[in-house]
């Protein structure tokens, strides 16, 4: 593919923007098609870059992919900052904590699993935990500390990506695509909406709703933790991602209810109930925003990256990990545009793994209209 | 006072707008001074017109005042509708319910108190209560039904008042008053902010914060009650005011924390917890808005209506009852402008009751700069 090829990116979330920026910087003529770039699930997200504390036993490919992308994050953030806008990378690390005995057992299993994988994990207890994070409540008796799991201000990141795209010559077409736009190569990166754009993706990508609250410590109230805190409370997972000295993002519920972005009263209450077990002062925080986004779920929690047919690439299905995986996804998409191999960790995420299963990976434009 | 007098109304909430409309319709040349008319506490409110279910033993003057204003509400609403915009009066009535045994004892005392006062009150129990309001939860075993306590869509009301003001020739000056504007008569109607505008009001009017949620029944979820439901849950009061077939306003917390309109996480959680005891489906409702307003509290829960000095009137301190009391307050202010007696129920609310107590009711402009 020649460097002057016209590339149409469908979707201006974190994945689409990262790919557009990298492609434009490499010399491709890129247009991003999105009625509202930088909104959607990327805007709602918490911004954790936490492949280690996110891992589920049996999902080692997800961990390897996330870890490979996390390795690229400091350079990615530095390049964005050099392009003009700091994306707000936070390097204080992550704690995973548990509240009830059953939650602590789950945490112990995670610790053992990570130790077997050779990951850098410490256990903090008692006084050392209080000293590290004095705002944590008495129900939190121990924590797994994962200093390598980071976070980023997702909204600063989107602003930085939009600025970098513009600086690199990316054009924006502010409309929703009903059909694939005309271009030498189309990249489908429309998140949860991608399934409607190509027959090969039908039934492969489903919206997984997540509700997220944004809170601010009021005057005289203990500030949020300095690290990201992931918690298991009564079997449910929640996270607290600090933004600045006073602000914190609290997430996230998980529902599979179609294309619905209502924030439910029950979801808000559950997040606040669970967070208060971890951070007792949170009742005194100002609730600044409640919002919901649609994660693009895939059948196996790995994204779908690759070629659907000649001239049509895809990068979606990043589930909870879109922001974490943006640098590596953009690198893989650039490799696909150039016709060179993708990074090895991306191979398990190649869309070809679903060949022959459901609709994924068709090999001719005609098939799209049939499905 | 001649009918062509220039009247400056400081404050464009429900009280200021109602007074401005009535005065302009009576021939006064009225200007409303407010940086954002129709916002503030009136915008946040629930819109209950419920003097009977709001009553506290020992506050019979508050009840008499509220009942006299409620009597005027149907005519007031009809005149606003005739002026072009329907304020959304709802006449389904009000239920007061209790959840815990101690709450039921409080409800019984309220019922006995209202019976002694000769108010129209029914008790609904069991099957008749379920038939009347099927969305109420099993914890609600009985209810006092007060068919005469109504509600209004506070935001439709503000729109209707703004429209009626404009039709009647009221002018708007969109700036905040630091000093009293030049006019033949100034009416101070700046709600919780009134205390800063005149020495006589200093220490008399305090902001009482209230948090209010707006929710919507999602598809497949039981709709809100058809009546306003006031509840006592674990000693706390909350209310649910239906807006249309799906929407409901849930309020209100009460804090005395100065001029602070943060919505707190703890306040939201408490409202949702309490409301779920009353309306179990509420967890499935969409949380569309959370907001906080500042009620203008007075020392005795009666408003302050009257003359502070020649050429300076006041109508503030309406506490939780500003919307209920708007018609009667406007009528009283028009009487003051015309130099005729106010309606008898307003006499206990006259500002002169505080003469000699604190700063209220000074008798010369010079004193203002001293306090």
For residue B104, the distance in angstroms to the closest alpha carbon of chain A comes to 26
Beta strands in chain B (DSSP E): 6-10, 29-33, 48-49, 89-90, 94-98, 122-125, 142-146, 150-152, 171-173, 185-188, 206-216, 228-233, 236-242, 247-251, 286-297, 304-309, 312-316
As for the ipTM of the complex, it is 0.86
* Confidence band of A364 (pLDDT split at 50, 70, 90): very low
Q: Is the pLDDT of residue A2 over 80?
A: no
Find chain B residues with C-beta within 8 A of A212's C-beta: none
**Residue A55 confidence (pLDDT):** 81
> Average pLDDT, whole number, for chain A?
92
**Closest partner residue to A283 among B213, B264, B284, by Cβ?**
B264
CA A350 – CA A303 distance, rounded (Å): 8
State the average pLDDT over residues A221-241.
94
Find chain B residues with C-beta within 8 A of A215's C-beta: 265
B269 in reach of chain A (CB within 8 A)? yes
CA B134 – CA B349 distance, rounded (Å): 40
CA B278 – CA B275 distance, rounded (Å): 5
- Are the beta carbons of B266 and A286 separated by less than 8 Å? no
Chosen from A214, A222, A287 to mutate, greatest number of chain B CBs within 10 A: A287
Please identify among residues 101-140 of chain B the ones whose CB lies closer than 8 Å to any CB of chain A: none
Find chain B residues with C-beta within 8 A of A265's C-beta: 213, 215, 272, 275, 282-287
A215 in reach of chain B (CB within 8 A)? yes
- Are the beta carbons of B262 and A286 separated by less than 8 Å? yes
**Residue A348 confidence (pLDDT):** 96
Question: Which residues are registered as beta bridge partners of B56?
Answer: none
B283 in reach of chain A (CB within 8 A)? yes
**Residue A109 confidence (pLDDT):** 87
> How many CB contacts within 8 angstroms connect chain A with chain B?
71
Whole-Å CA distances, A258 to A255, A371, B69: 9, 20, 48
| B141-188 per-position pLDDT tens digit | 889 999 999 999 999 999 999 999 999 999 999 999 988 999 999 999
* Confidence band of A356 (pLDDT split at 50, 70, 90): low
State the average pLDDT over residues A40-62.
90
**Closest partner residue to A264 among B262, B269, B286, by Cβ?**
B286
**Residue B354 confidence (pLDDT):** 87
Task: Find the distance separating the first CA and the last CA of chain B, reported in whole Å.
Answer: 29
B75 in reach of chain A (CB within 8 A)? no
Chosen from B248, B269, B270, B290 to mutate, greatest number of chain A CBs within 10 A: B269
Number of H helices, E strands in chain A: 10, 17
Which residues neighbour A126 within 8 Å (Cβ) at sequence distance 6 or greater?
Answer: A141, A142
- Are the beta carbons of B272 and A287 separated by less than 8 Å? no
A182 in reach of chain B (CB within 8 A)? no
A284 in reach of chain B (CB within 8 A)? yes
Positions in chain B short of pLDDT 50 = 360-371
For residue B57, the distance in angstroms to the closest alpha carbon of chain A comes to 32
Find chain B residues with C-beta within 8 A of A213's C-beta: 265
**Closest partner residue to B272 among A215, A262, A269, by Cβ?**
A269
- Are the beta carbons of A218 and B262 separated by less than 8 Å? yes
Which residues neighbour A120 within 8 Å (Cβ) at sequence distance 6 or greater?
Answer: A146, A147, A148
Query: What is this structure's pTM?
Result: 0.90
DSSP B263: P
**Closest chain A residue to the Cα of B282, Cα to Cα:** A265
- Are the beta carbons of B265 and A218 separated by less than 8 Å? no
**Closest partner residue to B272 among A260, A268, A276, by Cβ?**
A268
Find chain B residues with C-beta within 8 A of A282's C-beta: 265-266
Q: Is the pLDDT of residue A352 over 50?
A: yes
Angle at which helix A154-167 crosses helix A14-25, to 10 degrees, equals 30
Chosen from B215, B262, B265 to mutate, greatest number of chain A CBs within 10 A: B265
Nearest to B305 by CA among B289, B291, B322, B293: B322
**Cα four-point dihedral sign A361, A362, A365, A368:** negative
| Residue carrying structure tokens 């799906």 | B246
- Are the beta carbons of A264 and B283 separated by less than 8 Å? yes
**Residue A359 confidence (pLDDT):** 52
- Are the beta carbons of A285 and B273 separated by less than 8 Å? no
| B295-322 per-position pLDDT tens digit | 999 999 999 999 999 999 999 999 999 9
Find chain A residues with C-beta within 8 A of B273's C-beta: 269
| A146-187 per-position pLDDT tens digit | 999 999 999 999 999 999 999 999 999 999 998 899 999 999
Other CB atoms within 10 Å distance of the CB of residue B235? 9
H or E stretch at B302:
none
Whole-Å CA distances, B36 to A83, B15, B175, B183, B212: 40, 14, 8, 21, 20
**Residue A54 confidence (pLDDT):** 83
A234 in reach of chain B (CB within 8 A)? no
Other CB atoms within 10 Å distance of the CB of residue A271? 27
**Residue A328 confidence (pLDDT):** 98
**Residue A107 confidence (pLDDT):** 87
Chain centre distance of CA B318: 7
Whole-Å CA distances, B291 to A264, A290, B29, B251, B294: 16, 12, 34, 10, 11
**Closest partner residue to B290 among A262, A269, A287, by Cβ?**
A287
B282 in reach of chain A (CB within 8 A)? yes
A240 in reach of chain B (CB within 8 A)? no
CA B341 – CA B334 distance, rounded (Å): 10
- Are the beta carbons of A290 and B287 separated by less than 8 Å? yes
**Residue B356 confidence (pLDDT):** 61
């Amino acid at each position: 593919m020649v460097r002057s090829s016209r590339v149409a990116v469908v979707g201006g979330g974190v994945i689409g923007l990262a790919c557009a920026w990298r492609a434009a910087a490499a010399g491709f003529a890129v247009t991003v098609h999105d009625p509202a770039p930088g909104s959607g699930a990327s805007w709602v997200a918490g911004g954790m870059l936490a492949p280690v504390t996110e891992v589920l036993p049996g999902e080692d490919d997800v961990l390897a992919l996330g870890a490979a992308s996390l390795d690229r994050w400091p350079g990615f953030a530095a390049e964005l900052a050099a392009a003009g806008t700091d994306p707000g990378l936070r390097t204080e690390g992550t704690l995973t904590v548990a509240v009830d005995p059953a939650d602590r057992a789950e945490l112990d299993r995670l610790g053992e699993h990570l130790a077997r994988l050779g990951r850098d994990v410490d256990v903090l207890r008692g006084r050392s935990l209080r000293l590290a994070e004095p705002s944590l409540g008495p129900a939190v008796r121990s924590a797994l500390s994962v200093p390598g799991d980071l976070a980023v201000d997702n909204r600063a990141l989107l602003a930085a990506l939009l600025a970098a795209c513009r600086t690199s010559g990316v054009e924006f077409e502010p409309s929703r695509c009903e059909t694939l736009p005309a271009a030498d190569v189309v990249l489908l990166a429309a998140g949860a909406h991608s399934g409607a754009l190509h027959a090969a993706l039908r039934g492969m990508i489903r919206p997984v709703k997540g509700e997220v609250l944004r809170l601010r410590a009021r005057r005289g109230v203990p500030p949020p933790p300095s690290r990201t805190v992931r918690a298991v409370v009564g079997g449910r997972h929640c996270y607290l991602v600090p933004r600045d000295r006073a602000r914190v993002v609290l997430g996230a519920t998980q529902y599979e209810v179609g294309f619905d972005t209502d924030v439910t009263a029950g979801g808000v209450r559950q997040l606040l109930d669970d967070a208060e077990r971890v951070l007792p002062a949170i009742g005194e925080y100002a609730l600044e925003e409640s919002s919901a986004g649609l994660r693009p779920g895939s059948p196996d929690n790995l994204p779908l990256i690759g070629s659907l047919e000649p001239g049509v690439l895809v990068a979606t299905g990043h589930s909870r990990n879109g922001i974490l995986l943006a640098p590596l996804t953009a690198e893989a998409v650039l490799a696909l545009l150039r016709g060179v191999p993708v990074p090895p960790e991306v191979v398990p995420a190649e869309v070809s793994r679903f060949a022959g299963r459901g609709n994924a990976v068709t090999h001719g434009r005609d098939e799209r209209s049939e499905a």
